[in-house]
């Protein structure tokens, strides 16, 4: 039986956080044997906000290095840059013409980002979801692992695929969003009511994958807690401690009850040091690999060129079928 297809991507912006690592990267790695995986770096999507060109280039490589350093194997999965597979931009345009203004206006990410970048509400920000639909549909993906915040975009992708199939006959596989339970809720260290985000501007709110052990220790020690002094899971009333417990539990494979027992009678200080050490230990091999990769841009180039070739073969077929069906000579 053919393996099911997975496609996912991360935008080429900012440094990845522990939240991305646990919620996205670790899950990507887990799925590589069971599925035929396409992992993309969404550098075209990054243009919807004004970027420094050198920084965008460097961020693209950083995400690529993070994919590999966290265990995505370029021989098993197809890792590629969105910009190198031209079919993305092309199918994105076609899908723009099959997406209604009303649908795009309802996207919560568009509303949030327009509020945040009120001086630059560009058309790309608006049609962002059609480009993303193209990313997914080009590979006939069955499943799209993403965070809760992207679910609406995957649902729109389904609607577009169904609309197109109805008009022109079977063309696209209808993809399903896949939101992993583990790690979906890693929250900010300073604002534990909001998801840990690489775009957070609050100091010490996020653990970055590139943070040194000292920085990790410092940030965890500064994490917001409460005045109870009891390590107990209570998301509603103790969001800070519960978040640290969640991180610790995932990294050490312990249940919340086991963690409560382990730190019974101990203060938050001891608990925080244990959490920080668990993070440091988890990221140590990542750091080593990441630094090696970033020091070897030639190897990274080889990987993305190889990935682009593999991805293009599949994407080209889908786009050809689409163009043939709608009367575009290609």
- CB neighbours of 96 closer than 8 A, spacing ≥ 6? 127, 130
Q: Is 150 in the site for ligand TRP (CB under 6 A)?
A: yes
Among the listed residues 124, 170, 175, 171, the one whose alpha carbon sits nearest the alpha carbon of residue 150? 175
- Work out how close the CB of 330 gets to ligand TRP at its nearest, in angstroms, rounded to a whole number: 23
**Stretch of residues binding ligand TRP (CB under 6 A), selected from 1-9, 52-60, 66-74, 253-261:** 1-9
- Binding pattern for the stretch 9-38 against ligand TRP, x by CB under 6 A and - elsewhere: x-x---------------------------
Question: Looking at 5, 8, 60, 263, which residue binds ligand TRP (CB under 6 A)?
Answer: 8
Q: Is 99 in the site for ligand TRP (CB under 6 A)?
A: no
- Work out how close the CB of 107 gets to ligand TRP at its nearest, in angstroms, rounded to a whole number: 11
- CB neighbours of 282 closer than 8 A, spacing ≥ 6? 251
Q: Is 136 in the site for ligand TRP (CB under 6 A)?
A: yes
> Residue 13 and residue 196: Cα distance in Å, rounded?
15
Contacts (CB under 6 A) with ligand TRP, residues 198-217: none
Q: What is the CA 70 to chain-centroid distance, rounded?
A: 13
- Work out how close the CB of 263 gets to ligand TRP at its nearest, in angstroms, rounded to a whole number: 34
**Mind telling me the catalytic residues?**
113, 195, 198
Q: Is 7 in the site for ligand TRP (CB under 6 A)?
A: yes
- Work out how close the CB of 87 gets to ligand TRP at its nearest, in angstroms, rounded to a whole number: 14
- Work out how close the CB of 273 gets to ligand TRP at its nearest, in angstroms, rounded to a whole number: 32
Question: Looking at 135, 205, 211, 246, which residue binds ligand TRP (CB under 6 A)?
Answer: 135
- The edge-to-edge listing of strands for the beta sheet with 78-81 is 78-81, 36-42, 5-11, 143-145, 176-178
- How many chain residues are in contact with ligand TRP, going by CB under 6 A? 12
Residues recorded for the chain: 330
Q: Between 151 and 317, name the residue whose CB sits nearer to ligand TRP.
A: 151
Q: Between 209 and 259, name the residue whose CB sits nearer to ligand TRP.
A: 209
- Work out how close the CB of 135 gets to ligand TRP at its nearest, in angstroms, rounded to a whole number: 4
> Residue 294 and residue 251: Cα distance in Å, rounded?
25
Question: Looking at 5, 144, 274, 276, which residue binds ligand TRP (CB under 6 A)?
Answer: 144
The kind and range of the H/E element at 176 are strand 176-178
Among the listed residues 133, 41, 54, the one whose alpha carbon sits nearest the alpha carbon of residue 322? 133
Q: Is 42 in the site for ligand TRP (CB under 6 A)?
A: yes
Q: Between 79 and 144, name the residue whose CB sits nearer to ligand TRP.
A: 144
Q: Is 146 in the site for ligand TRP (CB under 6 A)?
A: yes
Contacts (CB under 6 A) with ligand TRP, residues 44-63: 45
Q: Is the dihedral of CA 250, 253, 257, 258 positive or negative?
A: negative
- CB neighbours of 137 closer than 8 A, spacing ≥ 6? 91, 95, 157, 160, 161, 172, 173, 175, 318
Q: Between 9 and 19, name the residue whose CB sits nearer to ligand TRP.
A: 9
Contacts (CB under 6 A) with ligand TRP, residues 105-134: 132
Q: Between 146 and 190, name the residue whose CB sits nearer to ligand TRP.
A: 146
Name the site residues for ligand TRP (rule: CB under 6 A): 7-9, 11, 42, 45, 132, 135-136, 144, 146, 150
């Amino acid at each position: 039986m053919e393996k099911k297809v997975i496609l996912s991507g991360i935008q080429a912006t900012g440094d990845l956080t522990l939240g991305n690592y646990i919620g996205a990267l670790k899950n990507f790695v887990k799925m590589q044997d069971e599925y035929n995986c396409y992992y993309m770096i969404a550098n075209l999507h990054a243009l919807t906000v004004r970027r420094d060109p050198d920084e965008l280039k460097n961020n693209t490589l950083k995400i690529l290095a993070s994919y590999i350093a966290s265990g995505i194997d370029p021989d098993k999965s197809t890792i590629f840059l969105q910009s190198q597979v031209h079919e993305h931009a092309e199918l994105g345009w076609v899908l723009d013409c099959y997406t209604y203004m009303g649908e795009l206006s309802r996207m919560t990410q568009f509303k949030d980002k327009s509020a945040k970048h009120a001086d630059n509400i560009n058309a790309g920000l608006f049609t962002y979801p059609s480009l993303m639909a193209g990313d997914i549909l080009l590979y006939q993906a069955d499943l799209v692992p993403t965070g809760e915040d992207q679910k609406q975009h995957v649902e729109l992708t389904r609607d577009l695929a169904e609309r197109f199939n109805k008009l022109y006959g079977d063309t696209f596989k209808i993809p399903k969003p896949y939101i992993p339970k583990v790690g979906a809720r890693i929250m900010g260290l300073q604002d534990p009511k909001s998801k840990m985000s690489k775009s957070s501007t609050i100091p010490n709110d996020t653990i970055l994958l590139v943070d040194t052990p000292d920085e990790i220790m410092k940030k965890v020690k500064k994490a917001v807690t409460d005045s109870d002094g009891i390590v107990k899971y209570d998301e509603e009333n103790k969001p800070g401690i519960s978040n640290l417990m969640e991180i610790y539990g995932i990294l050490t494979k312990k249940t919340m009850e086991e963690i409560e027992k382990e730190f019974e009678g101990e203060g938050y200080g001891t608990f925080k040091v244990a959490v920080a050490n668990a993070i440091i230990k988890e990221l140590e091999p990542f750091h080593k690999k990441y630094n090696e990769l970033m020091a070897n841009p030639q190897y990274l180039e080889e990987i993305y060129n190889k990935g682009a070739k593999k991805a293009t073969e599949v994407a080209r077929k889908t786009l050809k079928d689409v163009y043939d069906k709608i009367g575009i000579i290609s």
